[in-house]
Amino acid sequence: MVVRPAPEVLYDNLEKFFPNANLDQPVVDITPPASPMNDKQVKKDPSRIQKTVISSTSDEEGFGKLSKPHRVKTIRAVAREASEARKRESIRRTINQNTNLVRRQSTKMWGKKVVEVKPNQTQYLSKLRSQKGEIKQFSWIRGELIGKGTFGNVYLALNVTTGEMIAVKQVLAPERVSENAKVPEVIEALRSEVETLKDLDHLNIVQYLGFEKTEKEYNLFLEYVAGGSVASCLRLYGKFEEPLIRFLTLQVLKGLSYLHTKGILHRDMKADNILLDLDGVCKISDFGISKKSNDIYANDAAMSMQGTIFWMAPEVVDSREGYSAKVDIWSLGCVVLEMFAGRRPWSNLEAITAMFKIGKAKAAPPIPEDILPSVSMEGRNFLDSCFAIDASKRPTAQELCNDRFCEVEPNFSFSSTRLAQLIKTNEKKITV
């Protein structure tokens, strides 16, 4: 799925995006109904039938030993209620004419029991709450594949407890260590990723929602970002116009600045790892090789060569003296170059040749001649700053936020850009 549809599209096409789920499977809401549904209500909306049930399974197992009759709602009904709530929120924003980028918070599941609802599962699942009203257990269903990796896949998912669309990154646990020697390393990296990022909260960082380990797999729950990666947009629609590049670059810098203030190096900044939602909000993702540092802008000799070669800074390739978070600034420059050119930096070179150019010749990726006339002087100066060979002379992410290149025109509107129109057209094709 190259373009991730808007949640509204997902809610309206549940069977298509959750083909293996029993959407009419009931879940238990432990809050007793204020009043019973009458016959007219049932006839008007049969999918919202509230059955009276008494659970006999143990509370310890998360299915709530209930002594009183309780309502039953289907997964479909939960999803519809969430969809209706989103629509009401959108109407409020339209009335308020709020043109600022706004984040819809997803419910975090850290420290709570998480249960996947299997298609053949017949038990009633309960939204158990503590005496304070806090949810103790979350249930979820898995949908279509939306991303692939070497050792794991990313799937669309629905938080059945809240009705929110989320994403789940799954890594299969090997039955024997010998099955794949690299899998334990990936799992350890996943655990490190979780510990590093579970407390982060920023508009321009993909939100991590929870983690679950089962006998067969490790599940990392993430905020669902409709749209796609910047790289997928470039591959589908071609290079971006400069006003859009400025708009996106400022957002990425804000996210990077936040990461660096938290002592985190990303180490794999590239267009593939920057998601762009349908409202024009950029989100940095994929923190699999991120690293914590006590002194973010000081060289750390213990840093190893990590990242993707075409986006690497010289000090990463030749890492004898170590490197700092300034490597993310170099990589950001490569991303900006990607957006201008519509293709990766060093696009005319193989990896081994690019490695020599970067590590030995200490060269920066050139601006391709075919796009040079379309890059403003402010854009060229910005790239020069990012590509300073001496890392100590590269600006910090916060300093670059104030660069003239990052000044966005007051009347700029993402929805009016060519890219936004193309994404909407493509999204319509998905549901046909």
279-338 confidence digits (pLDDT tens): 999 999 988 788 888 888 877 655 666 778 899 999 999 877 788 999 999 999 999 999
Query: How much is the pLDDT for 163?
Result: 92
Query: How much is the pLDDT for 61?
Result: 42
> In what helix (H) or strand (E) does residue 265 lie, and over which residues does it extend?
strand 264-265
Q: Which residues contact 196 (CB under 8 A, 6 or more apart)?
A: 264, 287, 290, 292
Query: How much is the pLDDT for 158?
Result: 96
More confident position, 23 or 149 = 23
Give the strands of the sheet with 208-213, arranged side by side.
113-116, 137-148, 152-159, 164-172, 217-223, 208-213
- Mean pLDDT across the stretch 360-379? 95
Q: Which amino acid is at 418?
A: R
For the chain, percent of residues with pLDDT exceeding 70: 77
User: What's the CATH number of domain 228-431, 1.10.630.10, 3.30.830.10, 1.10.510.10, 2.30.30.90?
Assistant: 1.10.510.10
Catalytic residue among 29, 268, 328, 403: 268
Helix (H, G, I), strand (E, B) or coil at 427: helix
The topology under which CATH files domain 7-32+72-90+107-223 is Phosphorylase Kinase; domain 1 (3.30.200)
Helix (H, G, I), strand (E, B) or coil at 93: helix
DSSP track, 143-207: EEEEEE-SSEEEEEEEETTTTEEEEEEEEEPPSSGGG-TTHHHHHHHHHHHHHHHTT---TTBPP
Q: Which amino acid is at 166?
A: I
Query: How much is the pLDDT for 49?
Result: 44
- Mean pLDDT across the stretch 210-239? 92
Place of tokens 């007793």: 32
- Mean pLDDT across the stretch 82-86? 91
Q: How far apart are CA 256 and CA 246, in angstroms?
A: 15
Q: How far apart are CA 45 and CA 275, in angstroms?
A: 38
Q: How many CB atoms lie within 10 A of CB 357?
A: 18
357 labelled ligand-binding: no
Residue 139 near residue 124 (C-beta atoms within 8 A): no
Lowest mean pLDDT among 40-54, 83-97, 209-223, 261-275: 40-54
Is 370 among the residues known to form the active site? no
Residue 270 near residue 176 (C-beta atoms within 8 A): no
What is the band of 42 on the pLDDT scale with cuts at 50, 70, 90? Answer: very low
- Mean pLDDT across the stretch 253-276? 95
Residue 431 near residue 5 (C-beta atoms within 8 A): yes
Give the strands of the sheet with 228-229, arranged side by side.
228-229, 274-276, 282-284
Residue 107 has pLDDT above 70, yes or no: yes
- The per-residue pLDDT for range 145-194, each reduced to its tens digit, is 998 765 678 999 999 988 999 999 998 876 654 555 666 777 777 777 78
User: What is the pLDDT of the chain when averaged over all its residues?
Assistant: 82
The first and second tokens of residue 164, run together, are 């929110």
Where do the CATH 3.30.200.20 domains begin and end in the chain? 7-32+72-90+107-223
Where do the CATH 1.10.510.10 domains begin and end in the chain? 228-431
Residue 233 has pLDDT above 50, yes or no: yes
Cα of 119 vs its chain's centroid, Å: 26
